[in-house]
Structure 1
Amino acid sequence: MFAHAFRFDQFNVRMRNAFSTPRKPRHRVLRVVLGIVGVALLAVLVMFGLFVGAAMIATGLLFKLWKQRGKPTLATRDARVLDGEFRVVDPASLPR
């Protein structure tokens, strides 16, 4: 009775079959219906990803505009001023 209660050979077969590739249904109508359901699910996921991506881009643009508020724009700056970085060079190091 004890050896019959724990049959590990059947357990291994069941575990192997549980994680193997799923088989297609044999009924033609069921195959078509499941194919359409799969394509519809794929379309929903693509559209969801598209909307999430668009929302992320819009949020990034709004955040960038929010951080720039109050700073002077190019039109309000003085056109005679040139921004830049410079370094003072010793006259002795310049070529003559």
Structure 2
Amino acid sequence: MFARSFQFNTFRNAFSPRKPRHPLLRVAMGVLGVAVLCVLVFVSVFLGAAMIAAGLLFKLFKQRGKPLARDARVVDGEFRVVRKPAIPLSR
């Protein structure tokens, strides 16, 4: 008889969200949910923009003080001469 007296529906319903019965309270809770969603999106957009701006400023200040090439045709870099391979490539 113990198996029949314990029902899983009571345990499942303990954690399920319930909608209020009053229609105005239902609408108010819906508007509150949409408002919370809008605030979260608003904050996340500005937080992302601030992170991008901080990264760009960090990159800008990191390059500050380094010499730049005066001629636009000049490419600054380090090069290494590579020897021919020991085994010829077959065609």
Whether these two folds match at TM > 0.5 is yes
Structure 1: how far apart are the matches of 2:79 and 2:47?
41
Structure 1: how far apart are the matches of 2:29 and 2:17?
13
Structure having the larger proportion of residues in helix: 1
Q: Which amino acid aligns with 1:60?
A: G
Measured on the aligned residues, the alpha-carbon RMSD in Å equals 2.8
Larger Rg: 1
Show structure 1 runs of 5+ residues with no match: 1-8
Question: Quick one: percent identity of the two aligned structures?
Answer: 50
Partner of 1:65: 60
Q: Choose from 56, 59, 72 the match for 2:51.
A: 56
Q: Which amino acid aligns with 1:79?
A: R
Change over 3 Å in CA distance of 1:22–1:82 after alignment to 2: closer
Q: How does 1:1-96 map to 2 (within 5 A)?
A: 16=11, 19-74=14-69, 76-77=70-71, 79-80=73-74, 83-89=77-83
Q: Which amino acid aligns with 1:21?
A: S
1:86, distance to aligned residue in structure 2 (A): 1.9
Aligned residue pairs: how many? Answer: 78
1:20, distance to aligned residue in structure 2 (A): 1.6
